[in-house]
Amino acid sequence: MNSLVLQNATRALVPLLLVYSIFVLFRGHNHPGGGFLGGLLSASAFVLYGLAYGVRAARRLLRVQPLTLIGAGLLLALTSGCAGLFLGRPFLTGLWTGVTLPEGSALGSVLFFDLGVYLMVLGAALLTLLTLAED
């Protein structure tokens, strides 16, 4: 697609979507949102960029293969889930530190689990959508 209006709107919307996806990720373990919704918002930014500038440009903007994102997210989610096992607690037990995040909640293993889900959803959505757009 070669729309000047879409390209100009994309330049403004992509950074906003990415920042908002991070906001949704961080507030997700205390309020609605989290890794799944944040990952979908982030993927929508890259898909919008792909619609405006082409799939190759979207892949260049991403800089990482979607399969790598899926693998890294799965590893991070599993690692955060295993943290409780080392302390004799069940798998996926939430562990908290004394560090407070800017939005007021404490830093814990739940945030790392959400980040893993974020990366997996981003990778899976982009793998599917960008592959379909190429054909």
**pLDDT, average across residues 79-85:** 86
The predicted pLDDT at position 3 comes to 87
Mean pLDDT lowest for which of 24-28, 54-58, 79-83, 94-98? 94-98
Decide: helix, strand or coil at residue 74.
helix
Could you identify the residue written with the tokens 């908290």?
96
**pLDDT, average across residues 90-101:** 79
Q: Is a pLDDT exceeding 90 seen at residue 71?
A: yes
- Contact between 116 and 78 (Cβ < 8 Å): yes
More confident residue, 102 or 71: 71
Q: Is a pLDDT exceeding 70 seen at residue 1?
A: no
Chain-wide mean pLDDT for the chain?
A: 89
More confident residue, 2 or 132: 132
How many angstroms separate the CA atoms of 44 and 37, rounded?
Answer: 11
Domain that holds residue 29: 4-134
Which stretches of the chain are assigned E, i.e. beta strand?
96-100, 106-108
The predicted pLDDT at position 52 comes to 94
Number of structural domains, the chain?
A: 1
Q: Is a pLDDT exceeding 90 seen at residue 47?
A: yes
**pLDDT, average across residues 32-43:** 91
